[in-house]
Structure 1
Amino acid sequence: FQSYALYPHMSVRQNMAFGLKMRGTDAAVIDAKIADAANLLGLQNLLGRKPAALSGGQRQRVALGRAIVREPAAFLLDEPLSNLDAQLRAEMRLELVKLHRRLGRTIVHVTHDQVEAMTMGDRICIMRDGRLIQAGRPLEVYADPVNTFVARFLATPPMNLIPATLQAAPGEGLSVLTDSGAVLAVPARHRNAYGERAGRRVILGVRAEDFHESPDKPDWQKIAVRVVAVEALGAENVLIGQIAGHATGRDDAHPAGGDKPFEIAARLSRYFTAPVGSMVELYIDPLPMHLFDPETELVIARPSLMGATR
């Protein structure tokens, strides 16, 4: 349970034994199961304590131990990490992964935290309003989201969804014209998939990590961004900026129906710095881009990049 649901008047040992005792399990069997679970979870020295004398992480392990001793076919964990502080949450993520490997049992882990979903799951199921939207291996769902909801959920910062129009370019090319005037050429790999959509409105999806400070690859495309804020996270900096026109540098255009310039988030190196209000040039890796239908918010299918080489 999210709140662990431990009996406050019982010791750790009594909490773990309660379910088995109510089933009429032999006392010797109960003791053996508690010993095994306590050893697995590092609770040997806590068996005599009451829940009030335990930390959040210890209470969580007791709640898990109470389930483990019953030897279920599967475990259902309902947001078990949500009540923990950030450091303990990270530690318990790893502990739960290790526990899963040792137990060899199915665990259904419910969470609103995309980091938990990506780092802990062998398979993830994205749900919205009680409906299953997409299921698959974490990196597969991350690389090929079925709609804008999934695309934004599985990332921090969320995927940038930019109002735009898909247009035919000279020759057999295609390009995406954002509402602010920036132009992004569609990679040749995606032209067949997107070709029939030329001349129609789309939503351009670009992840924060696909913006770069320098053109390391020849197909990365330059874009002008006005700096709104820079969030220093230590290992990286996240730039919040407004997209300007690629050709003209204009930054006064608004997305359709919007009342302010469109803002994007870019995950950049720890060394990036720029004053608020300044213009910077970033480079987009266009290959992982997605296009979505603005009416249905469904992805416009294109070849998957999972396992592909450039």
Structure 2
Amino acid sequence: MDVLSDVITALRTGQPRSARVAWHAPWAQQFASVPGSAGFQIVLEGPCWLVAPDIGPMRLAPGDIVFRPHGRGHTLADSPSTSPDAPACDPNELPLQPYADNVVGTPADTAASATVTLCGAYQLDPIHAHPLLDDLPELIHLPAHLGRHPELRATVDLLATELQRPRLGTDAIIPALLDTLLLHILRTWLDQNPPPGTVSTGWAAALKDPATAVALHAIHRDPARPWTVATLAAEAGLSRAPFARRFTTLLGQPPLTYLTWWRMTTASRLLRQSDKPLSVIAARVGYTSEFAFANAFKRRYGTSPGRYRRNG
């Protein structure tokens, strides 16, 4: 798997949620702050405003996408001056009504007052959160631009259609489309950061740096391989010392520290999601000795692999 696909696999847990909502002025809906989740708002029709304590009022137009990767609360409204008159919505409790046009407000003039949005949320696993998540800003705003991000726009159109007109297979299609949407949002943000001509560190910069990106893909492609700084440097086409400095500068941790973290994250997922013997899991993440694997796992999680599986 590539790095971004692995990041999603490590982060995501439970079922993603989504609803298509038609709002009729005056309206305002508060979305609660939910640690361990990430939420999105997509404007399909009509303008609206996003208001949040950590940012100023932001006017959104049809086609705009807003992503809140750290689960911070916000309000969506027809105007910054409209106050919510209902309890805050927990994004993880969407949809309001499964596969129905959720209508809020009583329209006096539907054509003039309707705003239609897709709102949704992903449950994240804070214990196994990938460090890429820490690099994301509080808010990612992807404005609508004709012809830009065609894959992202196509995914939004497919999701909107399935929510509006459910058919056979909709229950399977919607979760797949929500995961695809999350990948396209992150891919788009990574493509745009760091801005051209700037010097930056972090995951966006690391995945654009040829040497570091090659090393990361090698780790994710084959975590069981007995990697050393020298062998990773060879993959990256650099000598050992320059590679180690480059990796550490961009990602804030040495290559082998990240390798160990990823091995343990992979092992914990296999323990939760499979009944494979501990010896098999140990080999999958690069340990020839089950004893050595158990010691490394206990250092990371404070418990043995067997107990972790039983309590999972």
Q: Under TM normalisation by the shorter chain, which class is it?
A: under 0.3
Normalized per residue, which structure has more helix?
2
Normalized per residue, which structure has more strand?
1
Given the two structures, how large is their TM-score scaled by the length of structure 2? Answer: 0.25
Q: Indicate the structure whose relative CO is greater, using CA pairs within 8 Å and at least 6 residues apart.
A: 2
